[in-house]
Amino acid sequence: MKHRHTEDKQLQGITLEAVMEKRRLDQALNAKEFAVCAGVSYSTARSWFHLAGFPVFHRVIFWQDFVQWRTAQNGFASQPEPLPHNNGVQASRAMFLPMPSNKSLMTT
């Protein structure tokens, strides 16, 4: 079943399946395809494409370039130092993951 993104008129006709296949093959994504892949509106994707330092090249972006840019923006540009070993097993790096916002922890 092909899902179309009809909530945003600009994204009509763009299927998630096609975009994810392009991402899997490391092919360039245009702003509409990027919006679907990132789960943002077309207007948000276009505004990101105009940000200084955003890894867009000739109006397309490669998903891995976006992931690296986002990682650097979040302050995780370099790999964290390895944690000390505990009984021969390296401690989990989960402590380096960002914490969810309080809103996501609240129930209605």
Q: Is the pLDDT of residue 8 over 70?
A: yes
Q: What φ, ψ does residue 72 adopt, rounded to 5°?
A: -65, -40
Tokens representing 47 are 């505004």
> Whole-model pTM?
0.63
Who wins on pLDDT, 101 or 56? 56
Residue 14 within any structural domain of the chain: yes
Q: Give residue 66's domain range.
A: 1-75
pLDDT score recorded for residue 104: 46
Query: What pLDDT band is residue 99 in, cutting at 50, 70 and 90?
Result: very low
Q: How many domains does the chain fold into?
A: 1
Q: Report yes or no on 41 lying in a domain.
A: yes
The verdict on residue 90 lying in a domain is: no
Residues 68-90: what's their mean pLDDT? 67
Which whole number is the average pLDDT over 45-57?
A: 95
